[in-house]
A and B are shown apart, each in its own frame.
Chain A
């Protein structure tokens, strides 16, 4: 990482302030006034859209393999999703994903 200490602290401060403002937004500024339905409908899909968009390139073109698709990582990702989806448990999904990553890594 090529950031200076000052830059790292600026990132932390900006992210901290921005995250607080997001959390404070409606509770603090709008109080108990109702929101437009279309906005709530879009906000409902932020976690299931933003996180996959972040992860997809990391899974398909991992930097550790020089950007080449890698059966170990693809398999571990698929197992993590399957276990998380079926058991509805982040914890078991993480555990299965890590075990699968280590296990498949020993195979390939």
Chain B
């Protein structure tokens, strides 16, 4: 008889905890299918994005730059910059899952998205001494309601895409989704300073070729945020 915290129980606990996120994943995935189709990608290309990249915000970023006919390496570099936050996710999962076999760590890496990461790290911080097998099972459980739905929602969006007229102002849905992802994350003065600096620098540098303004704004914002945090920590005002 499995104990309350067997890997099996941890797996289903992860699935249950992740279930509410389907509300975010389904519309976002469907939207990528619609916008990708509108931009001129075929079914396999849109599904290729959702399956191989499996990171919505960066997929939209790449698509946006591709429709503007930016050079291919700029589209790739800018979209990768959007995913740099996942290096931090990887770093903070490592103390908990670093002892797993390499193939499991590779699979976990592939499945690390904002929602699975956030759920897992919260769980590990609540129960830091749980056995490795349970921690891994919880992570895969959290993927269950999210990842398959991401693929399916993209497919649904592709199939609906050709039925949606092109003059609905879909161009502006992408900026709205990005703003919606960022705004809840503005938790401290350091976050707000990082975002404001990034916006100002990106607008000032908008004339640079190859969309380098994005990298100037993004890196500048990161430096400003980190510096504000450092000073607030020293002054004892950083929460």
Which positions in A face B, CB cutoff 8 Å?
A: 1-3, 5, 7-16, 18-20, 22-28, 30-33, 35, 38, 40-64, 73, 76-77, 80-85, 87-91, 93-94, 97-98, 101-102, 105
Task: Please measure, in the bound complex, the distance between the C-alpha atom of A87 and the C-alpha atom of B27, giving whole angstroms.
Answer: 19
Which of A15, A43, A94 lies at the interface centre, i.e. has the most chain B CB atoms within 10 A of its CB?
Answer: A15
A22 and B45 in contact, given A27-B105, A56-B203 (Cβ under 8 angstroms)? no
Chain B contacts with A in 205-223, Cβ cutoff 8 A: 206, 213-223
Top 8 closest pairs, chain A to chain B, by CB: A84-B183, A49-B221, A53-B217, A16-B52, A45-B225, A32-B98, A93-B180, A97-B176
Tally of contacts, chain A with chain B, CB under 8 A: 296
Contact across chains for B172 and A11 when beta carbons are under 8 A apart:
no
Contact across chains for A30 and B85 when beta carbons are under 8 A apart:
no
For A47, give its contact among B45, B110, B181, B219 (CB under 8 Å): B181
Q: Tell me the dominant secondary structure on chain A's binding face.
A: helix
Query: 1/0 per position for B21-51, CB-CB distance to A under 8 A?
Result: 0011001000000000001111001001100
For B206, give its contact among A8, A28, A57, A63 (CB under 8 Å): A57
Contact across chains for B179 and A81 when beta carbons are under 8 A apart:
yes
Contact across chains for A84 and B198 when beta carbons are under 8 A apart:
no
Contact across chains for A64 and B169 when beta carbons are under 8 A apart:
yes
For B24, give its contact among A5, A46, A57, A91 (CB under 8 Å): A91
